[in-house]
Chains A and B, each alone.
Chain A
């Protein structure tokens, strides 16, 4: 029972990563693996700044900017150098591993002794778990509000159109190199912010904390879409956030039921594989039904 609030909080903090993944995977139609590097990049940047005594909001802001830069690198590799997006993301991700180590100076940086966004927000409630929940909720509201506004503007519409049909948007006078770059920038900025928040909530930043984040993001996006729909852009954003929470609840449940934590990534990968193949399986199932019908 006392697991509910931390599970919700985790879902909220990670949902910012999920929104970032949604922006590339669904909006731009690119599977961007930069995420696996930009998430720990955000964590490392924030952790380093916090241990140097920086203000948590500044630390999160700088982490976001660092994430944006990593998105620009991937964007540059894929648009200017024409490296396939998947490979460009992998290259940036690998490069970031070294960068993150350099930023932190070691593999793991503890934040237990430093002020974080959560210790600074302690006035919100006596219960630390509730503080994390409230801070998470506010962050998610800010992020989704911003995304809703931005993707409703002319530039945002051009980015969405790029994902649906690059020829169409080029024929309408928009430089798709620019829109792809901007999409990757925003996405990785959000992912890094998520990393910064998760690190502060966990009490440490670790160079290995990015492993599997893309799969967690995809799981949240797909679970959200299947359960909560994709009617409008707002609906999509909400679905992704709820999907992230549902994912955390599922994980908490299987752990509670006795699954060894070491099998978690295997479990997540299988979950995502099933979810990704769902449309095909559904179509096959329907096809069979139609054949059997008299």
Chain B
């Protein structure tokens, strides 16, 4: 499904703020895999995510989806295959537009917009049914502006929008990090429901080790722009936080300088 070969990315090369974010990273995702990504600040998690989404181009290497080389595709073109939820709840929706209009835009992700009416009345029932699956009561608020929703509601809506046009790949960039614990839990449960019931190929960054362990069927830990640990299947199922810390120490040859980074 997703195939990343030897990509590298350095920000501000040759300047005082030079930052090597990804070093020769390769990763292959099979269809239906739900991969959680952990790692401390500066490990390159978000850079990996943004490289895939096309926020910027990588310096070296190739990225392909379903055998199609997308390394040089601009962000908007990749959106045809990729659904995204950002860390910032404000990023995934247009605040000044109605819930209905946001859903209408997401429902045609990757298709050239035409001169047809954007949010026809005939789509309302479909949207209402979809919103009802969130269990947040949004189905009665189709004509509310998204700016009036809470962070959690907006994030749940973004999740719905990212998945409604059947993405080949779903990218979740710490999408619960900005929410309060209770809401984060709710959004995470929703994420599991949607991803597992529809077998979406998913890459989910999280700051929280426990979330990384109880979600998905494969876990990746990044460190210094590389993939340090990659466990899947049965092995991942029985993994615990102490196991992970031990694996990290063995692989990195050092102890974690700050456990809180990973456990928060």
Query: Which residues on the A side are within 8 Å of B74 (C-beta)?
Result: 175
Query: Which residues on the B side are within 8 Å of A156 (C-beta)?
Result: 118
Complex Cα–Cα for A155 and B116 (A): 8
Is B90 interfacial (CB-CB < 8 Å)? Answer: yes
Interface residues of A in 152-180 (CB under 8 A from B): 152-158, 160-161, 163-165, 167-176
Query: Which residues on the B side are within 8 Å of A160 (C-beta)?
Result: 94, 96-97
Contact of B93 among A158, A168, A175 (CB under 8 A): A168
Query: Which residues on the A side are within 8 Å of B151 (C-beta)?
Result: none
B86 touches A170 (CB 8 A): no
Cβ-closest 10 pairs across A and B? A173-B79, A154-B113, A157-B118, A164-B94, A173-B110, A161-B94, A155-B113, A172-B109, A164-B96, A158-B113
Q: How far is the CB of A34 from chain B (nearest CB, A)?
A: 24
User: Given A153-B114, A153-B116, A157-B118, are A167 and B91 neighbors across the interface (CB < 8 Å)?
Assistant: yes
Contact of B97 among A153, A154, A161, A171 (CB under 8 A): A161
How many residues of chain A are within 8 Å of chain B by beta carbon? Answer: 23
A168 touches B91 (CB 8 A): yes
Query: Which residues on the A side are within 8 Å of B113 (C-beta)?
Result: 153-155, 157-158, 174
Q: How far is the CB of A117 from chain B (nearest CB, A)?
A: 28
Q: Is the interface of B mostly helix, strand, loop or mixed?
A: loop
Is B76 interfacial (CB-CB < 8 Å)? Answer: yes
A167 touches B86 (CB 8 A): yes
Scoring B106, B113, B118 by chain A CB atoms within 10 A of each residue's CB, the highest score goes to B113
14 interchain pairs (CB within 8 A)?
Answer: A150-B115, A152-B117, A152-B118, A153-B116, A154-B113, A154-B117, A160-B94, A164-B96, A165-B95, A169-B105, A170-B75, A171-B86, A172-B110, A173-B109
Report the number of A-B residue pairs with Cβ-Cβ less than 8 Å: 89
User: Given A161-B97, A167-B86, are A172 and B118 neighbors across the interface (CB < 8 Å)?
Assistant: no
Is B138 interfacial (CB-CB < 8 Å)? Answer: no
Query: Which residues on the A side are within 8 Å of B76 (C-beta)?
Result: 170, 173-176
| Chain A interface residues (CB < 8 Å from chain B) | 150, 152-158, 160-161, 163-165, 167-176
Given contacts A153-B115, A157-B113, 12 further A-B contacts (CB under 8 A): A152-B119, A153-B117, A161-B94, A163-B96, A164-B96, A165-B94, A165-B95, A167-B91, A168-B92, A168-B94, A171-B79, A176-B76
Complex Cα–Cα for A87 and B162 (A): 35
User: Given A157-B104, A158-B105, A161-B94, are A173 and B84 neighbors across the interface (CB < 8 Å)?
Assistant: no
Complex Cα–Cα for A173 and B79 (A): 5
Chain A residue nearest to B93 in the complex (CB): A168
Interface residues of B in 58-112 (CB under 8 A from A): 74-77, 79-80, 84, 86, 90-97, 101, 104-106, 108-111
Interface residues of B in 147-191 (CB under 8 A from A): 161-162
User: Given A173-B77, A173-B110, A175-B76, are A153 and B118 neighbors across the interface (CB < 8 Å)?
Assistant: yes
Query: Which residues on the B side are within 8 Å of A161 (C-beta)?
Result: 94, 97, 101, 105
B95 touches A164 (CB 8 A): yes
Chain B residue nearest to A172 in the complex (CB): B109
Chain A residue nearest to B146 in the complex (CB): A164
Chain A residue nearest to B171 in the complex (CB): A171
Query: Which residues on the B side are within 8 Å of A176 (C-beta)?
Result: 76
Is B131 interfacial (CB-CB < 8 Å)? Answer: no
Query: Which residues on the A side are within 8 Å of B94 (C-beta)?
Result: 160-161, 164-165, 168-169
A170 touches B104 (CB 8 A): no
Complex Cα–Cα for A186 and B60 (A): 40
Complex Cα–Cα for A176 and B94 (A): 14
B105 touches A157 (CB 8 A): yes
Is B53 interfacial (CB-CB < 8 Å)? Answer: yes
Chain A residue nearest to B91 in the complex (CB): A167
Chain B residue nearest to A164 in the complex (CB): B94
Query: Which residues on the A side are within 8 Å of B80 (C-beta)?
Result: 173
Complex Cα–Cα for A173 and B84 (A): 11
Query: Which residues on the B side are within 8 Å of A150 (C-beta)?
Result: 115
Contact of A173 among B96, B111, B116 (CB under 8 A): B111
Q: How far is the CB of A159 from chain B (nearest CB, A)?
A: 9
Q: How far is the CB of A23 from chain B (nearest CB, A)?
A: 14
User: Given A155-B113, A158-B105, A176-B76, are A171 and B92 neighbors across the interface (CB < 8 Å)?
Assistant: yes
Query: Which residues on the B side are within 8 Å of A153 (C-beta)?
Result: 113-118
Complex Cα–Cα for A60 and B187 (A): 54
Chain B residue nearest to A158 in the complex (CB): B113
Complex Cα–Cα for A175 and B29 (A): 27
Chain A residue nearest to B106 in the complex (CB): A172
User: Given A153-B118, A155-B113, A171-B84, are A164 and B97 neighbors across the interface (CB < 8 Å)?
Assistant: yes
Q: How far is the CB of A193 from chain B (nearest CB, A)?
A: 21
Complex Cα–Cα for A158 and B107 (A): 13
User: Given A169-B105, A171-B84, A172-B106, are A154 and B114 neighbors across the interface (CB < 8 Å)?
Assistant: yes
Scoring A163, A164, A165, A168 by chain B CB atoms within 10 A of each residue's CB, the highest score goes to A168
Chain B residue nearest to A151 in the complex (CB): B118
Q: How far is the CB of B132 from chain A (nearest CB, A)?
A: 22
User: Given A155-B113, A157-B97, A157-B118, are A172 and B91 neighbors across the interface (CB < 8 Å)?
Assistant: no
Contact of B114 among A155, A169, A170 (CB under 8 A): A155
